[in-house]
Chain A
Amino acid sequence: MTSLGQLDLDSETAFTLLPELVMLAGVLAIIVIPNLGDATFRLPLTRIRIPILVGGSRLESTNDPRLPNRIATLTFSVAFAASLLMIDSSSEEVGGLLRSDAFSRLFSAIFIGALLLVSAATTHRIPAKRNAAVPKDDDSENTASRKISVLMDNRRQVDFHILLIMVGLGMSLMAMSTNLFMLVVCIELASLSTYVLVAFHKEEEVGGEAGAKYFIVGSAASAVGIYGMSLLYLWAGDLALDSLATKWAEMQGLDPFAAFGIGLMMVAFGFKVSAAPFHLAAPDAYSGASSPISGLLATASKAMGFVALFRVLVMITAPDYGEESSWFLMLAIIAIITMTWGNLAALTSENPKRMLAYSSVAHAGYMLAAISVIGSGLAGEEGTKMILIAITFHLAVLVLFKLGAFLVLALLETGGRGHRMEDLHGLGRKEPLIAGSMFLFMLSLAGVPPLSGFLSKLLMVNGIVSSSADTGSSSATDVYSWMDTVDPVFWLAAAIVINSALSLFYYLRLSLVMFFEEPEKSPKIKSASSLRMAIMACSILTVLCGLGPVSEWLVSLVSTSIDSLMG
C-alpha cells in the first residue's frame, strides 16, 4: 500500500480542495454560530469585561432557528459554483489519495447541485419558526403536540444540516478518490449520513423503520463489499486504482481472488445504485424518508454508486477490444432483471414515492445495461467513451427531473400529503404550474422528446446500438436473418426500448390523475417560495438540457470529464 502521504494544506492544495473546504467550513459554522452568546470574561481585579461569545444567553441574531438552513444553502451554493468552475481546470493530485480533475469535479457539481436543491426544499419541508411557543398547561392535547413538534423541528435544524453537508463531503471526496480504500471510506461517510437522514423523522413510525431497514441491508452489503476489497488487497498488495489496473492487465487467465473481489464489490455498489436483487430496501427507504431525502437517494446517492462502478469496472477491469470480460454476462443479467423488476413493480404502485423509487430502480437497470456493453468488448475506445458520456449525462439530468419530481411531492408534503396517488388528484386545477412541471418531469423520465430524459436515453441506446449493430451480417437479405446474426448485446438496447414503453404507463397515469381527476378536499398547499423556485428551475432546465445550446454545452462538459477519466 502506498503511504498515505503528507497532506500539506498550502494555498495551492487549498484551492484544489476548495469545494470540500467550503463544506468543512460550513459544518463548523453550523456548529459554532448558533451557539454564540453574550458571555463575558471579567479580567481579574478589574471591571473590564471581555466578550468571549461562547456561553451566556444567545445573541438575537444567532438565536434564529432558520440559521442552519441558510448556512447550509450558502455553503452548497458556493461549493457548487466552485466545483462547476473547476471542471475546466487541470488535473491535480492531492496527497496521493485524491485527484481533482474534470471528471471528479463534474460529479461533485452533480452531488452538490442535488444537495443545494434538497436544502432549498428543506426550508419548507422541515420548517423552522422563530418565536415558537411553549405549550401551556391549559392547551388541548392537539395544540400541545403541534407546538411541541414546532419546537422539535427548531431543535433539529442543526443536526439535519450537518448531516446534509457530511453527505456532500463524503460524495465529493469519493468522486476524487484514486484509491479503493479511500473510495469505500468516503462512500461509508456519505451512506451513514443518509441512513440517519432517512430515519430523521423518528416520531413517525415509517421513517424510523425505513431507516433501520436501509441501514441493516446497507451495512450487510457494505460488509460484503469490504470483504471483496480485502480479497483484492490480498491479490494485488495495493489498493491504488492505477496499480490495480496495471495488475489486472498483466494477469494471465482469471485469478479467483481478483474475480471474487470484484464480484463481491459489485454487491456493495449494486446496493448503492439499487440494482436487483439488492434494491429491495430502497422502495421502503424512499417512501419512509421525507421527499427531498428520497430525491437525494435517487439521484446523488445513485450517481455515487455509478462513479464507483466506473472506477472499478471501467478503470480497472475494462476488457480490450474484442475480448469479453468476466463480468459482462453477470452485469447484463442484473441489468435486465433490474429494469424489468423496477418497471413491473412501479406499474401497480399506489404510492407516488414508491412508484418513483421503482422507476429509479428501472433507470439503474438502463444504465447498468449500458455499462455491461463496455464489458462485452464490442465497444472499443470510441464506443466506451460514448456510453460513459451517455450515463454521465443521464446522471446529471436525472438530478433535474427525478429530484424535481420528488420536490413536487415535497411541496405536497408541506400540506401533510404526498404518499397516496389520491393526493395528486386534481393538482392540475389547483396548481397548474406545479402540475405542469410534474408532467414535464414524468415525460422526461419516460424519455419523451425533446426533453433531456429523451436525449440521455437516446445517447445510451445509440451507444449500445452503434457498438453492436455492426455485428449483424451485412449480407443478410431481410430483417429476420439479420436478427439471427447480430450479437446478443444488441438486445440490451431492445430491452431498454421495450421497458421504456412499459414505463410510459405509470408515468402517464400519474400525469392523468393530476389533470383529469376531481381534487380531494384537502388543506391548501403552502406557498413555499424557494421550493417552488427550485421546481421551476428544474423544469426549465429539463427542457433546456434536451435541445439546443444548453444541452450542447452540457454534453461537451460531460465529454471533457470523460476524457479526463479515460486519460
Chain B
Amino acid sequence: MGENKSELGLLVYIIPFLAIVPALHSQGWDSSESAILIVAVPFVTFPVILVAGQLYNGHETWKDKLKEGGILALGALGTSLMAAIWLVYDYFDALPDFGDQNSIAHWLEWVSFDLLQSDYTLTSSKNILGVGVWVDSLTLMLLFVATFLCFLICWFSLGYMNTDPINDDRNHRFYGEFVLFALGMFGMVLADNFLWLFIFWEIMGLCSYLLIGFYYWKESAAYAAKKAFLTTRVGDVFLMVGLFMLYDIYGSLEFSVIFHDPSLHGAVDSTQLFWALLMMFIGAVGKSAQFPLHVWLPDAMEGPTPVSALIHAATMVNAGLYLVARMVPFVDVGHHGVPGLEDLGLIIAYVGGITAFMAAAIAFVQNDIKKVLAYSTMSQLAYIFTGLGAALWFYNHDEHHAAVVVFGASMFHLFNHAMAKGMLFMASGSVIHEVHHAHDHLHHGDGHHDFDPQDMRNMGGLASKMPVTATAMMVGSMSIIGIPLIGGFWSKEGIIAETWLAALDHEPLMIGPAILVLLTAGMTGFYMSRMWFMTFAGEPKSDVVNHVHEETPWIKQPLIILTAISAFGGMAFALLGATDYLSSSYGGSGHLRLHESTLLDSIIYKLEYAFLPKNQNLRIVGWTTIFLSFIVGPIFAARVHGGQLAKGESATPVVSWLVSLSGKFGSQDVTSLSESDLAEALENRLYFDELYEGVLAKTVIPFAAFAAWFDRAVIDGVIKQIESNSVSGSLQVRTLTTGSARDYILMTAVGMLSIIVLVWGISS
C-alpha cells in the first residue's frame, strides 16, 4: 500500500492543469466561453506529449514522475472534465429553446464559400463555416459521459499501461493518441455544424486506427487496425455523400440554419432528404459497428484494453448514435420536420434488431473475455439504434408522447451502457493484467506463446482473488443484462416496450425488431452471466489463478466509482426523469426533478410505471423481458458454467452469495451443443469475414489492379513524358548560356533589336 500512496502522490502534477478552469472563472469568463478549453487543452497537450516522449524517453523524471506523459494526459483531460462539468452545471437546468439559441458560443466566422454560378459570377452566400458550441440535453449528457470516462480511463491506463514492460518508452505514443482521440470526441459532441462534426469524427477514426495498431508488430493487430479503418471508411464515404446532399438541400451545414425549419416551409423533397439521411445513417452504422459493417469491432480488441474501454465501448462507437439522434429535427413533423420519412425509422430499427440478435448469438460461444464484451457492445448499441428507429418513426407520425419516451430511453441507455461497459472493459483489463502478471511471475517470462491471459478457459474462481474487480464486473453485467432496479434496466425496458407498442398499435412491420430485441434481452442474460461465471465462479481452471493478486495501483479507483454509478445511477436518474430530460430538445420536459413531491412517492410512481404499467400489452412485454433476462438467461448460464469456489476461498458477501447460488443449479453438459454446426458458425462469426473477403477478391481487387495499371501506364506515363520533355528543353535552353561574355552581349543586342522592331511596329 505504501507504494500505492506514493503513486497517487503524482496527482500533485495535475494541479496546474486543474487550476486553469477556476482561474478563468475568477477572471470573469463564463462557461460557454471556456467551452473551447474542452478541446483546446487536449489539442495543445497531445503534441507536447508526443514530442516530449521523443526527447525524454528513458529519462527518470519522465518515466517515473510523469508516467511517460500519462500524468500530462490526465491533467489535460481533467481540465476538459472540469470545463465540461461547468458547462453542464450552467446549462442543464436552463436549456435554451429548441432553435438557433442552442448555439451558445460562436467564435469565428471562418470560411464563407463563394459559389460559382452557372453564369460565371461569384455569389457570396450564407454558407459560413464557423466555430461554435451547440448545447442541448444530448450534448450535455454525451459531453459529460465522454469527459468523465476519458478521465477515468486515462487514470486506469496509468496502472495498466505503465506497469507492462512491453510498453516501455512507447507510452507517450499511447497517451498522445489517447488525448488526440479525446479531443476528437469532445469536439464532435460540441460541434454546432455537421462539417465540424465530420472533421472530429474523422480524427476519432484516425486515432482508433492508431491505437488498435498500437502493438503494430503483431500481425493480428496491424491487420485489425487496417480492417477497422477500412470498414469505417466505407461508412464515412456514405456519411460524406449524405452531408453533400444535405448541403445541396439546405445550402449550409450549420445546425442553427438547418434545424430552424428543416422542411424549408414545405419546400424540401422528402425523397431527397430520405436518401441524404440514409447515407448519413450508413456512416453511423460503420462507426457504431452495426450489421453489416460490424466486422471490425471484435478485431479491434487487439488494441490495449483501455483503448477498448474508451473507444470501442464507451465513447467513439456512440458517435453513430449521436448522429442518428441528431436526425430527429428532420423527421419531427410537430416541429417543421418533413413528413413521409417513416421508412428511415423502420430501416434503422431493423438494422438495430438484426445486429442485437446476431451479436448476442455470437457472444454465446466466445471464450476471449474482451470479445464477449465487444459483441455485447454491438448488441447493446443495436438496442439503442432500435429505440432511435422507433423514435424517428413516432416523430414522423407525430406520436409525440411515445416518441419522447423512446428517444429519451435510448439516450438514457446510451448513458447507462457507456458507464457500465467502460467499467466492464476496465474490469476485464484488470483481470487480464493480473493474470498476465501472475503468469509471468510463475513462469518467469517464458512460455508466453501458449498462454492467453484473455482466455476465460484459463480462469475461474477469481472471485476470491480479485474482490473489487469481481464486484465491479458483477454490477456492470447486471446493468447490461437489465436486472431490475439496476442501471440499464430503467432504459432497456423503455426501448423494448415502446418498440412493441409501435408494432402492436401502429406499424405491423415493426414486429421484426420488436421480437428480436425481446429475444436478445434473454440472450444478454445468458452471455453476460456466462462470462462472469466462467471468470469468477467455480474452481480455478489453471494454476496461474492461484497467484493472482489485485494490487496494481491506479486500477481500483475508477472501478469503484463506476460501480457505484452503474449500481445506483440508473435508478437515481430514472427517479429524476432522465428519459424526459434527455429528449428535452425534442419535446421532453427539460428539467431533472422528482416526478412526485416526495422521494418515496416518486419511487412508488416509478416502480409502478416500470412493473405495473396501465397498458396491458406493455405489462406483458415488461414481465416477459424481466423473465427472460433475469431468470432464463442467468440460470441457464449458471447451469453450464457456474460452480462453487475452491475450498477455503471466500469473496465479498454479495459475490460469494452469487457464486454459491450458481453452484446450486447443478451442471449441464453442453458438449454436444457446442460441437453443433450452429455453434461452429457462430464461432466463425457467421462467416461474414469470409463473405466480405470473397466479394472483395472478386470485385475490388481486379478493379484495384486495373486502377494501378492505369496509374502506372497512363497517368505516370503522361507525367514522365512531361518530365522528359522539360528536361530536354532545359538542356537546350542551357546551351544558350555559353559562358562567353561576347555571346551575352550578342543576345542583349538581339533583345534590343527585337524591342526596337516591336515598338516600331506599334508606332507605325
Contact = CB atoms under 8 A, between A and B. Distances in A.
A277 B738 CA distance: 13
What's the interface size class on A, roughly?
Answer: 35 or more
Interface in A475-521: 475-476, 482, 502, 505
Contacts of A341: 733
Contact of A281 (B119, B744, B756, B763): B744
Interface string B732-764: 011011010101110110111011101110110
A263 B756 contact: yes
B726 interface: yes
Given A216-B745, A278-B748, A474-B119, A330 B755 contact: yes
A280 to B, nearest CB: 4
Given A217-B748, A277-B751, A344 B733 contact: yes
B755 A212 contact: no
A181 interface: no
B744 A213 contact: yes
B736 to A, nearest CB: 7
A270 interface: yes
A260 B748 contact: no
Nearest to A501: B722
A260 B120 CA distance: 42
B730 interface: yes
Contacts of A281: 741, 744
A348 B748 contact: no
A213 B741 contact: yes
A4 B593 CA distance: 92
B120 A267 contact: no
A476 to B, nearest CB: 7
Given A213-B744, A474-B119, A347 B755 contact: no
Contacts of A216: 741, 744-745
Interface in A333-348: 333-334, 341, 344-348
A248 B121 CA distance: 38
A327 interface: yes
B729 interface: yes
Contacts of A349: 734
A263 B755 contact: yes
The majority secondary structure among interface residues of chain B is helix
Contacts of A264: 752, 755-756
Interface string B107-133: 000000000000111000000000000
A283 B737 contact: yes
A229 to B, nearest CB: 14
Contacts of B743: 280
Interface string A282-294: 0110000000000
B725 to A, nearest CB: 10
B748 A330 contact: no
B727 interface: yes
A347 B759 contact: no
A267 B726 contact: no
Given A216-B745, A259-B763, A327-B759, A345 B752 contact: no
B759 A271 contact: no
Given A216-B741, A280-B743, A345-B737, A329 B762 contact: yes
Given A329-B758, A474-B119, A476-B120, A505 B744 contact: no
Given A216-B741, A217-B748, A267 B736 contact: no
Given A267-B751, A472-B120, A502 B756 contact: no
30 contacts: A221-B748, A253-B763, A254-B762, A259-B760, A259-B762, A263-B752, A263-B759, A264-B755, A266-B755, A267-B748, A267-B752, A277-B747, A277-B751, A278-B751, A280-B737, A281-B744, A283-B737, A326-B762, A329-B762, A330-B755, A341-B733, A344-B729, A344-B730, A344-B733, A345-B730, A345-B733, A347-B726, A475-B119, A476-B120, A505-B723
A285 to B, nearest CB: 11
Most buried by A among B119, B734, B737, B748: B748
A253 B763 CA distance: 8
A256 interface: yes
B737 A330 contact: no
Contacts of A221: 748
B731 interface: yes
B758 A280 contact: no
B756 A271 contact: no
Given A280-B737, A505-B723, 10 more contacts: A217-B741, A217-B744, A253-B763, A256-B760, A264-B756, A267-B751, A267-B755, A276-B751, A280-B744, A284-B737
Nearest to A342: B733
Contacts of B760: 256, 259
